[in-house]
Amino acid sequence: MYFNKEHDLVRKAVRDFVNKEINPHVDQWEEEGIAPLHDIFKKMGELGFLGIRFDEKYGGEGLDYWYETIVLEECARIHCGGIPMAIAVQSNMATPALEQFGSEYIKETYLRPALKGDMVAAIAVTEPDAGSDVAALKSFAKKEGGHYILNGSKTYITNGLQADFLTLLARTSDDPGYHSFSLFVVPTDLKGFSVSKKLDKLGMRSSDTAELYFDNVKIPAENLIGVEGEGFIQQMQQFQHERFAVLPLSYVMIQEVIKETVEYLKGRIVFGKPLIKKQVLRHRLAHWLAQAETIQQLAYHIVRMKMAGQDVTREISMGKLLAGDLLNDVTSGCLQMYGGMGFMNEMRISRLFRDARLISIGGGASEVMSEIISKTSGF
């Protein structure tokens, strides 16, 4: 109903890529706590998956948000959360602002190589004292001649160990309010930049997460994205691409987890019968499937709204809130149905249970989503 033969071809291409180039290596990357992003992104860039909805002029495929949704849905079939997250950083978190607000120079120098997979990108917003409250961030970029001098630190930065550039939000003025911030492209080979720590995490283990430090980093003025002082507003818009990605990544992961759990329950004999015969379990699974379907339909509604040029902040916030909570419920509930087996690291459910925990925290916690929903609903 939503997808035609051309969509199906792209879906198959992404699925084949995931099965051939990613899934066979996931266990190793999870073990190592990092994945070879330059290699993965180069292959994805060549196939056009990273920039599928971006302008062809800047290395994208010039397709629409339906195609982006397909790529995300298929990435959700990766056997962990860490790699889909790293990919989404490249396509939905660190690059949309470059396309929307960046100069020709920025698009040619950073956006094109990122979409082609020649550069790894990261999004650097969060700081030790500023997560949910983005406006509390302290990193400061002071204009001096043809440069901005950046001092400060960022934390929990995905792809932070491997990134060639950061899309970074910093203060450019001490004035109160939301017009004191600017977005920059910060190449990581600039003097004064350092990775201060690789962070050890509960889940998303194949995704590298870093604490970053900036000591008088001289950012060329042409690396300012858009208008000085408008970075906060630009980043709020970029967040919509990030948060939308959570929906397809979650509802497909939920559907896959349920499918695998059903197979396990069919074969697990307890009290003389397969566990799937227990109505209480079947009904829980059915309920979750129904909830996943509503999130999927909300995502498709959002795609239609985006294609019609409408503001989707409220709907995306609703979708991220529901998706994060449901993914947590389903991975935890399915793990319960596996019994002791679900607690074993060899089982994918135990990994996804750990990975899922991030979704209602990262990129705007569930409580922050609820705040946006209530504000945009007038209370």
Ligand X SMILES: Cc1cc2nc3c(=O)[nH]c(=O)nc-3n(C[C@H](O)[C@H](O)[C@H](O)COP(=O)(O)OP(=O)(O)OC[C@H]3O[C@@H](n4cnc5c(N)ncnc54)[C@H](O)[C@@H]3O)c2cc1C
SS3 276: helix
256 binds ligand X, rule: CB under 6 A: no
325 binds ligand X, rule: CB under 6 A: no
CA dist list (Å): 287 to 2, 277, 293, 309, 333: 24, 16, 10, 33, 12
Choose among 225, 240, 208: nearest CA to 141: 225
Q: What is the CA radius of gyration of the chain?
A: 21
Considering only the stretches 145-153, 155-163, 243-251, 344-352, report the one whose residues sit in contact with ligand X under the rule CB under 6 A: 155-163
Q: How far is the CB of 346 from ligand X (least distance, A)?
A: 23
35 binds ligand X, rule: CB under 6 A: no
What residue is closest to ligand X based on CB? 131
d(CA 116, CA 118): 6
Do 105 and 222 contact (CB within 8 A), yes or no? yes
Residues 70-99 that bind ligand X (CB under 6 A): 89
Question: How many chain residues bind ligand X (CB under 6 A)?
Answer: 23
For 315-344, give one letter per residue: b (16+ CB within 10 A) or e: bbbbbbbbbbbbbbbbbebbbebbeeebee
156 binds ligand X, rule: CB under 6 A: yes
365 binds ligand X, rule: CB under 6 A: yes
Q: Which is nearer to ligand X, 90 or 261 (CB)?
A: 90
Given candidates 69, 167, 209, 235, which one binds ligand X under the rule CB under 6 A? Answer: 209
Choose among 370, 360, 368: nearest CA to 329: 360
158 binds ligand X, rule: CB under 6 A: yes
Given candidates 220, 325, 371, 376, which one binds ligand X under the rule CB under 6 A? Answer: 371
SS3 78: coil
Q: Which is nearer to ligand X, 48 or 84 (CB)?
A: 84
Considering only the stretches 38-46, 116-124, 172-180, 332-340, report the one whose residues sit in contact with ligand X under the rule CB under 6 A: 116-124
262 binds ligand X, rule: CB under 6 A: no
For tokens 């319960």, what's the residue? Answer: 336
* Helical axes 313-338 vs 279-307, angle rounded to 10°: 160
Mask for 121-140, x = binds ligand X (CB under 6 A): -xxxxx----xx--------
201 binds ligand X, rule: CB under 6 A: yes
198 binds ligand X, rule: CB under 6 A: no
CA dist list (Å): 125 to 163, 183, 252, 334: 14, 9, 28, 34
Do 179 and 229 contact (CB within 8 A), yes or no? yes
The angle subtended at Cα 166 by Cα 164 and Cα 171, nearest 5°, is 150
Q: Which is nearer to ligand X, 117 or 364 (CB)?
A: 364
Q: Which is nearer to ligand X, 221 or 236 (CB)?
A: 236
Q: Which is nearer to ligand X, 135 or 286 (CB)?
A: 135
SS3 169: strand
27 binds ligand X, rule: CB under 6 A: no
Cα–chain-centroid distance for residue 26? 18
358 binds ligand X, rule: CB under 6 A: yes
Positions marked active-site: 242
Q: Which is nearer to ligand X, 170 or 299 (CB)?
A: 170
108 binds ligand X, rule: CB under 6 A: no
Q: Which is nearer to ligand X, 158 or 172 (CB)?
A: 158
- By CB under 6 A, name the binding residues for ligand X: 89, 122-126, 131-132, 156-158, 201, 204, 209, 358, 361-365, 367-368, 371
